[in-house]
Structures are given as C-alpha cells and as structure tokens.
Amino acid sequence: MNLSFKTVALIGKYKTPAIAEPLLRLAAFLAGKGAAVVVDSLTAEHLGQHPYRVLSLAEMRGAVDLAVVMGGDGTMLNIARTLAPFGILLVGVNQGRLGFLTDLSLDSMKRSLTAMLQGEFVTEKRMLLSVRVMRKDAEVCNAVAFNEMVVHRSNIDSMIECEVRIDGDYLYTQRADGLIVATPTGSTAYALSAGGPIVHPALDVIALVPVCPHTLSNRPIVVSGASEIEILMHRVGEVHVRFDSHTNFDLQLHDRLIVARHKEHVHLLHPVGHSYYHTLREKLLWNKSL
C-alpha cells in the first residue's frame, strides 16, 4: 500500500492507564497497514512492554507525519499547542465527553484511519492565539492558546476592571467577573457558556466575551483575526490570566496583555464528508426533539 503517512505517532490522555489497551490495539493495526508507529514518551509509561519507538513531543519534529491523539478535547488542546510549530497533522479519537476536536470514535477509528492512510481525508486549519503580559515594559509571560485566554478573578468579593483597545483604538473599560478572548475553536468552549456566539472555525476572527459584566450593555464582540488586542489592568486584587484552562499567571495592577493571532496554525485531519454543522447538532443536541 502506498501510504499518505509513513510515520504515525500515537498520543494518549496523560496519566490514564485505561488508554493502554485501545492504543496498543490501534498501534498493531497501523503497523499491520505498513505504517511506522511511534509512541509519545509520557503515553509509553502506561503501556508496559511494546515494540514501538518512543519519542517525546519535541523529538517528533521532522520525524512524524501524522499524530493520532486519543483522549478528549483537553488532551487535543495541549498536544496541538506543542505540535503546531512542527507542521504535524493531527487527528483525534474521542474518549472524553463532548469531543468537538476529537471526532473519531473507538468504533470507527480503524475504518477512518485506513481511508486516511490511503489519502482519503480533508484538512482543516485552526487559529491559535499568542499572548504576552507586559509589566513596566518588560515581558513577564508569553503563552499560546488554542481555545481562549481568560482574565478572571479568584476573589469573589471584587470584580476585575480593565481597559480594552483594538489596534490602538479604545473600545471600553470593562468591569466584570472576567473577560474571555476566544478563537473560533474556543467559541464552543467557555465563551459559549458565557453567552458568546458560535463562530465557524474557518473564519479569521477573534471574539471578546465578558463574564458577568457589571453593565448589561457590555455584550460580546467579534473582531478581525488580524487585530491586536490590548488589555490594561486597572483593578486586580487576586486576578489571573488563564490559557486553555491549562496555565495560569498572576496579574498585577497596570499589567498589559497583548493578544494577537499566532503565526502558527493547528492542522486537523477529518474523514471525508466531515461536517462542522453535523458536529454542532450532535454535540449540542440540536437534533433532539423537545
């Protein structure tokens, strides 16, 4: 068989021993198709004895054509941020709950991956956010987010207060429990729970969604993906910035956050016939009768 992907990496949900059996089953299947199988080093800790090459995520640069991520959306978010600069295509096998990013099931993964190895697939490019925290003109934090960046309070007794500018133009001074800056991918995550719009992932836009704003006229706004968003902290208390619910950083008074589209993108692989609208209907239960 003339394979579209010669070397396939398998990555499982972190610290989940139950992933071993289905992942080894998939590894044997792919090897039987003629693919060279690589296993992520952290995943390998739960697999016991196996014949497959073990690489860290960093070592996969230039060595892997396709990465199959077995877990939930949280696992995919973490892996995608790391592998995006390497240009490695990603496909997800869902073992979580919603699975907006991991659209293969355990039942369908062999059939779908067989077709993908034969060149039958569609690719999708997804935006990442680059976030810098500036303190007295010095950069004190630099992070990448796939879903969203969130400024939020940890002290329930006070709100955050921040000034927001888009490409240098003053937008508003926000008093709220928090502020979400989301990619189209992140529009179906925390931003959706906070009343933000669902944004098709093909759009080059960024959404700003306040969390419980003090002024009810402060509504979500969608801006160009080419925009630079500046957030100046006027009131903090115990306030953090969080990236994809994964990394936190404590903010101080007068810190400036600079948010922009990251130069790299995540490249997802889907089966032929994949439909984002079908995913919405299925995951949000829009096809259920009331």
Give the lowest-confidence range in 86-100, 102-116, 221-235: 86-100
Tell me if residue 224 falls in helix, strand or coil: strand
Round to whole Å and give the CA distance between 139 and 232: 14
| pLDDT of 212 | 92
Instruction: Give the model confidence (pLDDT) of 147-170 as tens digits.
Output: 999 999 877 667 899 999 999 999
Higher pLDDT, 284 or 191: 191
In this structure, what is the dihedral angle of CA atoms 253, 140, 263, 151, given to the nearest 10 degrees? -30
When pLDDT is cut at 50, 70 and 90, the band that residue 1 belongs to is low
When pLDDT is cut at 50, 70 and 90, the band that residue 285 belongs to is confident
Domains detected in the chain: 7-121+271-283 (3.40.50.10330), 128-263 (2.60.200.30)
How much is the average pLDDT of 115-131? 96
When pLDDT is cut at 50, 70 and 90, the band that residue 95 belongs to is confident
| pLDDT of 139 | 98
Instruction: Give the model confidence (pLDDT) of 249-282 as tens digits.
Output: 999 999 999 999 999 999 999 999 999 999 999 8
Amino acid residing at 107: D
Of 200, 160, 11, 179, whose CA–CA distance to 93 is shortest?
11
pTM comes to: 0.93
Round to whole Å and give the CA distance between 222 and 217: 15
Average pLDDT taken over every residue of the chain: 93
Round to whole Å and give the CA distance between 90 and 113: 12
When pLDDT is cut at 50, 70 and 90, the band that residue 186 belongs to is very high
Highest mean pLDDT among 25-34, 103-112, 245-254: 25-34
Q: Over 90: is that where the pLDDT of 138 sits?
A: yes
Give the lowest-confidence range in 18-27, 98-107, 124-133, 271-280: 98-107
Round to whole Å and give the CA distance between 180 and 162: 12
Round to whole Å and give the CA distance between 261 and 223: 11
| pLDDT of 275 | 93
Round to whole Å and give the CA distance between 105 and 50: 24
When pLDDT is cut at 50, 70 and 90, the band that residue 98 belongs to is low
The phi, psi pair for 9, rounded to 5°, reads: -95, 140
| pLDDT of 289 | 59
Exactly one of 40, 65, 73, 255 is catalytic; name it.
73
Annotated active-site residue 250? The verdict is: no
Beta strands in 146-243 (DSSP E): 148-153, 160-166, 169-176, 178-182, 205-211, 221-224, 229-235, 239-243
| pLDDT of 235 | 76
How much is the average pLDDT of 176-202? 96
List Cβ neighbours of 57 (8 Å cut-off, separation of 6 or more).
11, 40, 41, 79, 82, 83
Instruction: Give the model confidence (pLDDT) of 203-232 as tens digits.
Output: 999 999 999 998 888 899 999 999 999 999
| pLDDT of 96 | 64
Round to whole Å and give the CA distance between 24 and 198: 36
Could you please report the per-residue DSSP string of 19-35? GHHHHHHHHHHHHHTTP
| pLDDT of 85 | 93
List Cβ neighbours of 98 (8 Å cut-off, separation of 6 or more).
72, 73, 283
Count Cβ atoms below 10 Å from residue 225 Cβ, excluding itself.
15
When pLDDT is cut at 50, 70 and 90, the band that residue 39 belongs to is very high
